[in-house]
Structure 1
Amino acid sequence: MKRKAMISLCLCLCMQFSGHAQDYDASKLKQRVDVYMNKVAVQSDWLTSRLQMYWHSHATDVYVNGETFDHAGGNRAPVPTVRFNGTRSNGAAYSRPKLEDIVPYDDDAQSNVTYINKATGIKEKVSPAKTGCNIAGVNREILGIARDAARIFAATGDTAYANLARPVLDTYLKGIYHRNVPTDLMHGHMQTLVGMTTFEVIHEDAVNEVTETYRLLVPRYGRSDLHEAAMKKWAENIIANGVPHNNWNLFQAEFVAKIASALQPNSAYSDGKGREYYQDRVLNKSSIRQWSMKRMTDYCFDHNTAIWYESPGYSTTVLNDFASFANRMDVEAGMDMFKDLPVLKRAVMASPQYLMPNRMICGFGDTHPNYLSMRAADQVLDYARRHGDKALEQEFVGLKEAIASDAPKEKIEQYVSPSFYAPNVSWLMQRTGMDERHDLAISLNGSLGNHMHANGISMELYGKGFVLGPDGGIGRTLYSGDDYKEYYSQFPAHNTVCVNGKSGYAVMMSNHAFKVEARYPDTNDKVGFGPATFSQVSFVEPETQARQMRTNGIVRTSDAGGYYIDIFRSRAVGDGQFHDYFYHNLGQTMTLTGADNGDLALKPSEELAFAGGNLYAYSYIYDKKSARTGNDVKATFTTECPDGRKIDMTMWMQGYRDREVFKALSPVNLEYERLPKFMPYNVGEQPVLTYVARQCGEAWTKPFVAVFEPSDTDEPSEIRTVEFFKPSGKDAVGIKVVLKNGRTDYIFSAPQKTKMKYDGMKVDAVYSIISNGKTILCR
């Protein structure tokens, strides 16, 4: 074998420890490291001097004020100690310099650093409190260079690369050994979350580079009692802090397991705490902030659906990490988690249920939708092949083939259900199939589990390749900023109904689920896709004690099209109540007219504001124009794509007395800011088109009754007219949809099973569709 190929093979084997061998380019790695080899050859401390350390004070203690660095102090350690991050949030007024521009041995009596003022572009001495998470970022970059040098040494035996890595590792681990766990001056929640280097133990990512580098350098330098004591100290802090009942527990376990892999057996240590101790500590033992894998699995996965109890963005990430962790523990410790925790494999197989027809996950809670990663499936496949389990291998090969972007829709449709309900996250999905352009989907979510929003019964609508009616998304600085707390996590940012301007409850870890009253299909089984779906869910809004009920359905009109039904009932106790129906849609333009296309004479409005005692979120809505009308209305949201294609979402809504309708703009939707190339325009810079209907008085006998139809340039609207009628039956409503091909659909709906009659038609149901005299759904 040629030398270059041998180096590449050896380096790939080294990288299997970190789980990213497939992303590795040996020649680029060596080329990158050689840049620093040349610098160190001229100045031996070029790399180590740029580590972010307390070079001046040798501080042993760090003090934070909640989520912000306050000061460093304590006794003077015999060596420089590792700096702590500036804030919990990534947001910062100062950015880090490039590595070559970092001031060597940068520190002073106030523990300041020399970073770049974002406003002026000039480097200044500044408190770490203004630098966000950049300090840890610099250290990870330097540690990453050391790790890569150690990989090259392990593959080639060239000691020059080991000599580059060793001083960086030694300086950093000595700095950890002589540092204490930070103290929160507020004596608050942060004291239970802080790591040795960052505000959250789940972001002690430097563990990855440090443990791998240490392992790779042992053949050259032998083991170090001090280095291993530092890593054990790190592990003890990660175990002692954090959160046991969500994704944190897994991330903490991964760090501790990586530290364990760098240690010797228990017998090598006087305290008996070595490799086996720490592996057992996270796999089988539970403490207040670090649960065993079995306890966490029982708590976080739904027994029936195998869905993890966090929002999709977190759930899918956890699943990837969990499978990777399980596979690594099987390799390194002989602990078969896939066998001991069978729900893990089921969860990977269930993950396609998150998908919209464009193969991207739905977006409720703190989620940035993306295509479904197959990293978890790859880990199970690696496990299956290693154990010679052909049946398991075939099962997961099939899953990967179905998820592939070029796979026919018939393959992925084997892994998704027309109706899917996950009670542990209060989430219900309806789909007509998985054709990206022609199928429709509705995602409904309440607020149960972790990383959830205050959104009541929220709705996302998919059509013509995109989630046209998206969830509100997440704030500019994720969940740390005021925009998130005041707007993105609150009712008015979602497609829901807010009562009296006050609806709300605790976000993040939430306990406000909806109740499924009825649905069709009424099973999560993969029963095949039909011409219609339906769901009816109820909810008691806790702030106002309003009773709410949402009825949703999809009706197919052809192989290329269909429409949605949305009926939202809401009522509170007492006089003076009002109910605001919010709907947000992608697009650049919006029209709001009467159902007959007549002018509503919209006028600028100062309503929908915090003034008057409403939520702060109301004041984020702007450019408001409104009209008071009891007549039916029609809104059209238009998305213009770069290729000239236009996508319309048309909404028809029934009018009622004492109603005011609004055309407005809302803050940009940041769900898709990480995926601009997959979106029809730059969604992250375009205000969100917003429709609001305010019903003065109760909205139970005067509910919000709407029909939505997606269409586009190539496949225009199939609906000729939408009308509304009043069938007999308590609180019943009716919708008449006339298609251009002459077909007429009648939709009957009531809050409970009711005998309803209209124009010679009779139904005894909660929801029924009669199309050209034939019943296509009756529940």
Structure 2
Amino acid sequence: MKNKTICLQLLLVLCSLNFFAQKLERPFILVKNAERSEILKKIDSKPWAKQIYSDLKKSTDKQVCKFYQNPKSYLKNLPFNWSKAEANQFPPFLKTDHIENGKHRNLDNATEKEWKPAALLIEYLQIALDCGYLYYITQDEKYAYVASSILYSFTKSVQKSKISNWKGRGGLLFPYDGFREVRVIGYRLPLIYDFVASYLKNEGKAFDIIKNKKVSFPKDEAQNVFKTYANITVNYGQTGSNHSVLESPSLVYNALAMDDAKERKKWLSYFLSESTQNQDALPIMAKNYKNQGDIWPETSQYLNHSTEILAKLLLVINKYNPSLKLGVKYPNILFALPRLDDLVYPNNEIIRWGDGHRRQHGSYQAYENAYVLAKMDSLKYLQDKFAPLLKNALDKGKYSRKNIEALFWYDDAIYGESNKIKLPRTDRVYHAGIVLQRNLSTTNNPKDGLMGFVGGAHMVHGHAEGMNIELYGEGQVLGVDHGRKKYGKDLHENYSRIFAAHNTVIVNGSSQGQGGWVNLGINSVELIAMEPKVRTEAISPNHSFSQTSFVDDKGDKAEATQERTLGLIRTSPTTGYYVDVFRSKSKLPNEFHDYLYHNIGDKLVFENKDLNLKRTPNRYMANANKKWIHNKRYRNPGWHFFKDVQTSKTYNKDLVATFHTKKIKGGAIFMQLHIPGFEKRVYTKVKAPITFESPKPYHKLSTPTLVIRKKGEAWKNPFVVVYEPYHKKEKASIQSVEKLEQGNIYKGLKIVSKTPNEHLIQYVITQSKDQIFKNENIYFKGSYAVITLNKMNVLQSIYIGEGEKLIFNNEEITTNSTNSFFKSYVKK
């Protein structure tokens, strides 16, 4: 019955498409003729619309003037390969190719010289498209003549090329990167045609540089070009990643450019309903948005861009045929658009995982596309979601309408209040294994905010990072993930992508990814417990925590089980700290574990004067010259990139270390680390590679990094570090950190702080789930608890993040079914 229902739905879609195809006249891909009068009214009455039009006309008229001065000379500047021209025939175009180490590569790292033919071609096609826009608006045939002439030259020349079958990803003009060709060239052609079709229908001419005269436009040849570009996506693409999304605009626009209604319906179905071996259709792509709030399962720049493309195509096709109601069918795609802006630090930078960027925020243009579609399909809850976001951005000048689609699609009727957006205390990115905590200050100063996350998982564009953290303080992401720059380079493949570039633990010097996307497969970080639960109200204004687990079993030399507890504790509106407890144990004999922490800054200073360091340049060089195969085999774990390596002898005492970051705008800031002493610990400081997208000047400086090695298991006595960020105008509030033990097994910490307001004593118990800690004053069964006293040892508060029972002196608490509890004992 279910299959019959699906078949019936698809039949209705296709019949609906066929009905509309029969009666539509061009243009209709982005906008229809019937909408022109309203657009002219907008240009007359709306300053933003008038500005879009005048800017477009001003820049385009310069090119039109150049064209009319000498059409032949203007068009001959296209990147033709005249050396291969036949008599009285258009020459083919120059190919765009990139060669590295004697091998053809995709164009990710193409040089300016290699990219020049493509850049010139894209420039000409954009001029043609801009002329098409202006012909639609003004009905002045001079614009249609220029656009048609450029499209004519392209059509004649591109047919001299054949599709390369390079790794199943070839193109016509980019023989080793058809994936890029459809993204930068393929989608423009059908739009140009759509806008000038009425001119061509009325016997409008194009200029032929070979015949040196005006000629009729070869519509049939153009139709073949559109089919060819649609075919590159359908039969030469890649499934199971964002590639299907990125190629979809070319597929959809080229399908809609086909004049034969049956052909149009057939090719459009490859987006709407029918997947192929090389291209996922919309129903497959939409599975990534199964639940409201789900996001595209890659890294930040790809997940946002993918969702924005899909949302735009839903609107384009819905405008083409409103009866499809694509907003109703796929509302979760729209709902995902602003999701990335939930994952920001107090300074508005994005948390980073994999190849993600710091500043890849959501697009207000995409929000408005979603608002228009929601309005078309009468989805009030989605209108209510996007209206405040748009109103807020417009009111604060964060967003102004500048793109041509705004002129075609938008008006000023955005209803709703410009509300302040409140971010939740905790959040998760499920596909990236991320568990996030934030605590914004009552001062409303981003510098006083606290935030961190634990994460790690395998995905396309993910990194083999283990169970990684980032930490924020004093207005900056201080405990940083390295990020990435250019793909395919030694630094990217043998450092950025693998364990040593992350704040994680490397086991037996051998932690690595294996299998999956480009052999970087790792397990996902799994949640054991957290408080508050995802996007729910916190029980305490000052506390939150997460406990996660990870299995490091790729390759055959780590074989480790790990557990990480990250606690966030605010001690005043301007002070607070993080408690990081990382447990790790391997099944293998002679095990050892290395805890890594990278912090932007000038230097790392150990405050203990008796900790002697000696240069150990070969300490991390064992795999420096191992075989490296692009996208297949790496020099794991990547720490051979560490420079100026200095290492201590075994040191068992408590340790204080400070990262100095003195060149930051706004004054020097510090991250101080309190590290309880344990046996068999060796400390190393290094200069790691630069951290990309760091604040100036640290985007060009090496990254000071701490490595702590534990010989033997690090489970009963794990890695324990208390992190406190502070500004040069302040002093570190933490006075002392002392470990709590039971039978020589670590159980928690006693932390004494002197804040601007008060003197605090805090017992922070951090143990595995269902474990018990007991001493003369405390009994606790559970994972995480914080007991806060003032300097007179008077109880101030009790927080249980996860646990069943806590007894402190005469106070006994048994938690409810949520296993969490908070009570303040301070009289107001």
TM-score of the superposition, structure 2-length normalised?
A: 0.77
Q: 1:428 to 1:619 in 2, by over 3 A?
A: same
* 2:307 corresponds to which of 299, 310, 319: 319
Per the alignment, residue 200 of structure 2 pairs with: 221
Q: Which amino acid aligns with 2:567?
A: G
- What does residue range 374-773 of structure 1 map to in structure 2 within 5 Å? 374-387=364-377, 390-400=380-390, 414=422, 416-433=423-440, 435=444, 436-475=446-485, 477=486, 479-506=487-514, 510=521, 512-525=523-536, 530-542=541-553, 543=555, 544-594=558-608, 598-611=609-622, 615=636, 617-628=638-649, 629-640=651-662, 643-672=665-694, 679=695, 681-727=696-742, 731-740=745-754, 741-772=758-789, 773=795
Distance 1:312 1:466, change over 3 A: same
Q: Which residue identity lines up with residue 239 of structure 1 in the other structure?
A: V
C-alpha distance in structure 1 between counterparts of 2:259 and 2:596, whole Å: 59
Query: Could you tell me how far 1:257 is from its partner in structure 2?
Result: 0.9
Q: Which residue does the alignment assign to 1:71?
A: none
Report if the CA contact (8 A) 2:168-2:237 is conserved.
no
2:820 corresponds to which residue?
Answer: none
Contact 1:81 1:172 survives alignment (8 Å): no
Partner residue of 2:23? none
C-alpha separation between the residues in 2 aligned to 1:655 and 1:406?
Answer: 51
TM-fit CA distance, 1:248: 1.5
Q: Which has the higher mean CA deviation after the structures are superposed, 605-614 or 175-184?
A: 605-614
Partner residue in 1 for 2:4: none
Output the CA distance in 1 between the equivalents of 2:675 and 2:49. Answer: 52
SS of 2:779's partner is strand
CA distance in 2, matches of 1:756, 1:518: 18
User: What is the alpha-carbon distance in structure 2 between the residues aligned to residue 346 and residue 146 of structure 1?
Assistant: 35
Instruction: For structure 1, list consecutive stretches of 5 or more residues without a partner in the other structure.
Output: 1-8, 60-75, 97-130, 185-189, 267-271, 673-678
Contact 2:773 2:780 in 1 (8 A): yes
Q: Distance in 2 between matches of 1:22 and 1:208?
A: 24
Residue deviations 1:555-592 (CA, integer Å, cap 9, x gap): 11112221111111112123332211111112223312
How far 1:545 moved relative to its partner?
1.2
1:387: Cα distance to partner?
4.8
Distance 2:63 2:394 in 1: 40
SS in structure 1 at match of 2:767: strand
| One-letter code aligned to 2:566 | N
Q: 1:79 to 1:640 in 2, by over 3 A?
A: same
Greater Cα shift, 330-339 or 47-56: 47-56
Give the distance between the partners of 1:765 and 1:77, measured in 2 at CA: 84
Identity %: 24
SS of equivalent to 2:483: coil
Q: 1:393 to 1:616 in 2, by over 3 A?
A: closer
Q: Distance in 2 between matches of 1:696 and 1:12?
A: 72
| Secondary structure of residue in 2 paired with 1:327 | helix
Partners in 2 of 1:229 and 1:93 — Cα distance?
Answer: 29
What is the identity, as a one-letter code, of the residue corresponding to 2:476?
F
Letter in 2 for 1:553: G
Query: Which residue is equivalent to 1:63?
Result: none
Q: Decide whether aligned partners of structure 1 residues 588 and 45 sit closer, same or farther in structure 2, where only a CA change above 3 A counts.
A: farther
- Structure 2 equivalent of residue 55 of structure 1: 82
Q: Which runs of 5+ in 2 are unaligned?
A: 1-35, 99-104, 202-216, 398-417, 627-634, 790-794, 803-828
Q: Which of 159, 163, 179 matches 1:201?
A: 179
What is the rounded CA distance, in whole Å, between the counterparts of 2:71 and 2:302 in structure 1?
43
Could you say which residue in structure 1 is the equivalent of 2:272? 283
Cα distance in 1, alignment partners of residues 681 and 430 from structure 2: 34
Q: For 1:431, what is the secondary structure of its paired residue?
A: strand
Question: Out of 286, 289, 305, which is 1:297 matched to?
Answer: 286
Is structure 2 residue 161 aligned with structure 1 residue 171?
Answer: no
2:240 alignment partner, one of 242, 245, 250:
245
Structure 1 CA distance for aligned equivalents of residues 492 and 395 of structure 2: 33
Contact map agreement 1:194 1:242 (CA 8 A) in 2: no
Q: Alpha-carbon deviation of 1:93?
A: 7.7
Alpha carbons 2:155, 2:222 under 8 Å: kept: yes
Shift of 1:403: 7.1
Report what 1:309 is aligned to. 297
In 2, Cα distance between the equivalents of 1:285 and 1:545? Answer: 43
1:167 is displaced (CA, Å) by 2.6
1:213 is displaced (CA, Å) by 1.7
CA distance in 1, matches of 2:421, 2:327: 26
Residues 251 and 271, structure 2, Cα contact 8 Å, conserved in 1: yes
- C-alpha distance in structure 2 between counterparts of 1:384 and 1:659, whole Å: 59
Cα deviations by residue, 1:649-697 (Å, 9 ceiling, x for unpaired): 111122322222122111111245xxxxxx3x23321111211112222
Question: How far apart are the structure 1 equivalents of 2:393 and 2:432?
Answer: 23
Q: Which of the pair has more CA radius of gyration?
A: 2
Opposite residue 488 of structure 1, the aligned amino acid is S
Distance 1:15 1:263 in 2: 30
Q: What is the correspondence of 1:113-128 to structure 2 with a 5 Å cutoff? A: none
Distance change in 2, residues 1:656/1:23 (3 Å): farther
Distance 1:354 1:203, change over 3 A: farther
- CA–CA separation in structure 1 for the residues paired with 2:141 and 2:752: 79
1:391 deviates by 4.8
1:32 alignment counterpart = 59
2:337 equivalent to 1:348:
yes
Q: Are the counterparts in 1 of residues 765 and 785 from structure 2 also a CA contact under 8 Å?
A: yes
Query: CA 1:413–1:254 in 2, change beyond 3 Å: closer, same or farther?
Result: same
Tell me, in whole angstroms, the C-alpha distance in 1 between the residues paired with 2:715 and 2:521: 26
Number of equivalent positions: 689
